[in-house]
Chain A
Amino acid sequence: MPDKPSLGLRAAFYLGMLFLHFPIAIIVLYALTTEDRTYQFPPPGLTLRWFGEAFQRQDMWAALWLSLQVAAMATGIALVLGTMVAAAMYRFQFLGKDFITVLLILPIALPGILTGIALLTTFKRLALEPGFWTIVIGHATFCIVTVYNNVVARFRRTGYSQIEASMDLGADWFTTWRWVVLPSIATALLAGGMLSFALSFDEVIVTTFTAADQKTLPIWFLNELFRPRERPITNVVAVFVMLITFLPIVLAQWLTRDTDDLHGGGKTG
């Protein structure tokens, strides 16, 4: 390996990076365009007008509110179940451990459409009315692994000796959990929680199958995509959604910056 990257490699790298970020820049640019009928490039002029108009759309706010509620509920369930399974997997050796690993990653390894239609057929069979709770069930299912990944990585790093020390000193399980375990996994919980919140907030494929006529923000956005009422407003909401998803992701990344081993051993720095 030469000390300096060759010209070809450098070109491929910067072109690749441009490819990755150009569409995101385009979205921001289009949210500011004065053109409201076509996708004309370059925009004939720039304006902030659409931001004001977008914020007056009641249906957008209703969809946003539903999305926030679903994401909060799904994240809550995933936090409890993901932490439990992480504690069990870290603490114990038992038969069927590999099976549980597969079970955990299956909802994200199989295409979302399979999770969606599988849940739909089950709701149909059980005669469950699709609605808020069916969306939450779908989302929580694929959020569990996100929480699990974060928490189990933290458990592995912390080690078991602190817990034993606490019990040796006379603390019971609940005291140990409250004062030793919880503080040591708190940021992992926060990071896992934020990631699954963002995941749920952005989810559209599983949602279309489990939502019936309920509109989460991505579903609302999808409708606007096919039957746009006002194009510039779609652009503004796009920027808005991007900001809401970005912030927790960057924060989560920052909170888990010492636990890179969870991405498969890629050490930074």
Chain B
Amino acid sequence: MTLRRRLSDALYVRPLLLLSLLLIPPLLWLGIIYLGSLFNLMLYSFYSLNDFTGQVEYRFSLSAFQQLFSSPANVDIVVRTTLMALVVTLACIAIGFPLAYYIAFYTKGNAKTFWYLMVLLPLWSSYLIKVYAWRLILAGEGVISWFFNLLGLGWLLQGILSIPVVGGPSLSNSYLGMFLVFTYIWLPYMILPIIAALERVPKSLIQASSDLGARPGQTFRKIIWPLVIPGVAAGSIFTFSLTLGDYIIPQVVGQPGFFIGQMVYVQQGTAGNLPLAAAFSVVPIVIIAIYLLVVRRLGAFNAL
């Protein structure tokens, strides 16, 4: 019997051998390279920086976390980023829901495929290019200002920009602008799971509800919405977690106030404080873990 045949028979007779041959390489990659790296990151957050040499000291220390929480500016960064992630998530639900609702209930066949693709294309087009496009749109001499001036509403835009916290010198230097870009970039991640959830709502339930005399608003609140919550929660995992970790959008659009991602980037790069960068990156892991525990109770994992 040839070697090839013998090997082949061995694989057939001993499925465990086949299973381990199939699993070991990918598990080595993901387990060692990826999980190992995450674990190493955690370790780094418990190291410290030697004040004299500026080198990392590989000894257990809580100084990075101390540094993180003792500075009000750092706490501000965490609060600011989390609030932005929450507001962006709510806006994505508000804008995404009607889109998903229309596609799920009022389109059929080729039209449905077409609109579905129209949601997918912005999702898949280059992230940086989309951010760049918004810089063009939000610029002082860009489309939005032009449009407001065209309508003679330039004063309105100025008024909005003069609101403290939300506004700024121009749209491209304000939290409002940053909020718009975040909402735009993550919106498709919200629409797709909602479409999937809506399509699983049995049409007969909706008919039964209106047969029994419920007004459309009632049917929506009592039948459709509760059934779609898992999809909304699934989408919110993406919008929330992606906003929490992003550092490019706050850099391209927005105010001087840092976001968590920027802090991680600056600390590991120019500041050269890898332990503090690691401690900062533990923050979104913890926030996301808490968030996941909450949305799991809403059934988000079954809708992913």
Contacts and interface: CB of A to CB of B under 8 A. Distances in A.
Q: Are A and B associated in one complex?
A: yes
Interface of A: 1-2, 4-5, 9-10, 12-13, 16-17, 19-24, 26-27, 30, 38-42, 77, 80-82, 84-85, 87-88, 91-92, 94, 100, 103-107, 109-115, 117-122, 124-125, 137, 140-141, 144, 167, 172-174, 198, 202, 204-205, 208-209, 218, 221-222, 225-226, 234, 238, 241-242, 245-246, 249-250, 253, 257, 263-269
A22 B184 CA distance: 11
Contacts of A267: 199
Contacts of A121: 37, 40-41, 44, 274, 278
Nearest to A92: B19
Contact of A13 (B34, B102, B130, B242): B102
Contact of B120 (A23, A41, A253): A253
Contacts of B35: 103
Q: Which 7 A-B pairs have the closest CB atoms?
A: A111-B245, A172-B8, A12-B98, A23-B133, A118-B37, A264-B196, A39-B139
9 contacts: A1-B216, A81-B29, A84-B22, A106-B34, A209-B268, A218-B128, A234-B132, A265-B200, A269-B113
A94 B19 contact: yes
A85 B28 CA distance: 11
Interface string B230-260: 0000000100011011111001100000000
Interface of B: 4-5, 7-9, 11-12, 15, 18-19, 22-23, 25-27, 29-31, 33-38, 40-41, 44, 95-96, 98-99, 101-103, 105-106, 108-110, 112-113, 115-122, 124-130, 132-137, 139, 141-143, 146, 184, 187-188, 192-193, 195-196, 199-200, 203, 206-207, 210, 216, 219, 237, 241-242, 244-248, 251-252, 261, 264-265, 268, 274, 277-278, 281, 284-285, 288, 303-304
B302 to A, nearest CB: 10
A35 to B, nearest CB: 9
Nearest to A25: B133
B122 A266 contact: no
Contact of B281 (A13, A113, A242): A113
Given A81-B29, A204-B248, A265 B265 contact: no
B146 A23 contact: no
Contacts of B109: 269
Nearest to A103: B30
B133 A27 contact: yes
A81 B133 contact: no
B26 A238 contact: no
Given A21-B118, A117-B264, A117-B281, A167 B30 contact: no
B201 to A, nearest CB: 9
B15 A92 contact: yes
